[in-house]
Structure 1
């Protein structure tokens, strides 16, 4: 089975650009088209936060129209740019969100269990996992110990070396999250967004992966005091393939590229061997 992960859409009101530069609505539409082109199609799509730029009802309405084009289930968690109650209203019809409190939930996509955690701190850029969310995670993992599981949240639970992003990372609950994940070996991935780059680190005995953004990317600057800036590098997303044993993850680009081209060499190719090597 195949599970797609997109992140950091930053959908704006119609006609508006994020930070006056990034055409996030168009980029999100391109990401939707990229998912629809996949063969085989994903069995479900995960969205790891910052679905909107300001958490406005207008933004969620536009977002809902875009996501409605996807024929498979879509499961999302809020990011720091989202607002919890508008988010809850926007996804109420999907049936997986709790009616009140943190937007923590657990669902199944085929044999894979998905446990979603709400790291949103209202009005702040950093994230936190409170005691109720950690308790929810423990109970959800204990309930189905034999099911291969993906845990998803917006803020990565580790420092990535991009200083301005680390200062608004998961500032509360990272150690508790790692403790719980380490105690449940069925967790095959911890999936995050927020940093707008593809990043991986071992965490709690498994792999924690940060998805690139389907819009703009955070500049790769590993100096301690680098500026808070973004670049219009190619947008991308992650594909998690489960073959019944382990999860294998691919990074995909949302925009079409030239090709495909065969690896076969023409007869006049420089350096071509006349006979196959021994």
Structure 2
């Protein structure tokens, strides 16, 4: 199985343009690249911050952009999103439609079981896993303890060293999450967004990773007194290839570059 991951799209209405961020055009080019891949991904996971302000018109614009994607897609909310608006605009995405207060779900139709976990707090930048969400995760994992499983969540369950982003990280429930995950050996990966960069960390006996954003990247600054900033490194995505030893992750850059040249 080949899974593409994109994240932190931050699609905004044209009247709310933020500096020089070209979120829509970057996403459109990323979709073009995904459609052209050979072999093509079986599935595209979007790990949060689909829009910049969680407004209905932004989701309408996002929907029109995603219409060009010729691949199945699963959506997850980030701290910039509004689950109610997501559900309203993406009514045909059955996995989003439930009476749960949190936007989380399980998809069992792929070789890898997909468990989407909601880490968001409406109107806040930091993340939380309350007792109800942790109980749902524990129950969900217990139902298929042997089946290869992938967890997707917006806030990564680890500190990154970028202090200002860690202050907006998963501040509640991280230890309990790790304890739940550590009980299982079938969790192939924990895929996250929020950091706008590629990172890897061991969590609960498996590997958690973050993905570059399509809109912009968080500047890599590990100084304790740094000012949080972003830059325009090339937008990117990740490909997760299911090989004989588990998932292998490839960092992919969106854009035109010379090559490939034969050796």
**Where on the TM-score scale, by shorter chain, does this alignment land: which range?**
over 0.9
User: Is 1:134 the counterpart of 2:134 in the alignment?
Assistant: yes
Other-structure match for 2:62: 63
Task: Give the total of aligned pairs.
Answer: 262
Please, what is the CA RMSD of the aligned residues?
Answer: 1.3
Q: Do the aligned residues in 2 keep the contact of 1:51 with 1:78 (CA within 8 Å)?
A: yes
Other-structure match for 2:91: 92
Could you tell me how far 1:245 is from its partner in structure 2?
4.7
Secondary structure of the equivalent of 1:45?
A: strand
Other-structure match for 2:165: 165
5 Å matches for 1:228-267?
228-243=228-243, 245-263=245-263
Other-structure match for 2:192: 192
Other-structure match for 2:37: 38
1:114-155 CA-to-partner distances (Å, cap 9, x unmatched) read 100111101110011111111111111111122111101100
Distance across 1 between alignment mates of 2:7 and 2:89: 17
Q: Do the aligned residues in 2 keep the contact of 1:44 with 1:109 (CA within 8 Å)?
A: no
Secondary structure of the equivalent of 1:171?
A: strand
Distance across 1 between alignment mates of 2:93 and 2:107: 12
Secondary structure of the equivalent of 1:223?
A: coil
User: Where do 5+ consecutive residues of structure 2 fail to align?
Assistant: none
TM-score (norm 1): 0.91
Other-structure match for 1:222: 222
Distance across 1 between alignment mates of 2:244 and 2:72: 20
Could you tell me how far 1:10 is from its partner in structure 2?
0.2
Distance across 1 between alignment mates of 2:243 and 2:89: 33
User: Is 1:153 the counterpart of 2:153 in the alignment?
Assistant: yes
1:29-62 CA-to-partner distances (Å, cap 9, x unmatched) read 1111111111111111100100000001010001
Other-structure match for 1:74: 73
Q: Do the aligned residues in 2 keep the contact of 1:43 with 1:109 (CA within 8 Å)?
A: no
User: Where do 5+ consecutive residues of structure 1 fail to align?
Assistant: 264-278
Could you tell me how far 1:246 is from its partner in structure 2?
1.0
Report the CA distance shift for 1:60/1:172 in structure 2 as closer, same or farther (over 3 A). same
Answer with 54-63 or 80-89: which moved more: 80-89
Q: Do the aligned residues in 1 keep the contact of 2:24 with 2:65 (CA within 8 Å)?
A: no
TM-score (norm 2): 0.96
Secondary structure of the equivalent of 1:93?
A: coil
Secondary structure of the equivalent of 2:79?
A: coil
Secondary structure of the equivalent of 2:108?
A: strand
1:145-167 CA-to-partner distances (Å, cap 9, x unmatched) read 22111101100111101111000
1:51-110 CA-to-partner distances (Å, cap 9, x unmatched) read 000001010001011112223221111111111211222233110022331011010352
| Greater gyration radius | 1
